[in-house]
Amino acid sequence: MSAATEVSAEYPTELIDYVTLPDQRRLRIRPLRRCEEAPIRDLYAHLSPASRYIRFFSPMPELPASVMRLLACVDYRRTLALVAEHEDGATPEPIGLASYGALDDGS
């Protein structure tokens, strides 16, 4: 592994954006901070059992620590997660999460 790949990237502030929905609610889209678990836990707590099963192929009542690490511990180079937050009040409410991971192409 080269020194360039060992050094993790800085928080990508250039990916922070705001979106206004048709009902005029304003959302902030931002990268998840490294190992930031709170938005993931909050989203998971609000999923129905059916939605949990569809998303994770298991009726997990609680998200296992290994899955939490996989989703939360991003490096901004090979893994990235974006969280959508509704900013209505003092604490932003997470309403969506998208996780991205690069595949090793063997080169």
| Residue 31 near residue 12 (C-beta atoms within 8 A) | yes
pTM for the full predicted model: 0.82
The pLDDT tens digits along the chain (107 residues) read: 444 444 558 999 999 999 999 999 999 999 999 999 999 999 999 999 999 999 889 888 889 999 999 999 999 999 999 999 998 878 889 999 999 999 877 66
Nearest C-alpha neighbor of 96 from the set 40, 22, 58, 13: 40
Interatomic CA distance for residues 16 and 77, integer angstroms = 16
CB atoms within 10 A of CB 30: 20
3-class SS shares of the chain: helix, strand, coil, % to 5? 30, 25, 45
Interatomic CA distance for residues 88 and 74, integer angstroms = 27
Nearest C-alpha neighbor of 52 from the set 40, 39, 61: 61
Structure tokens at 31: 């990268």
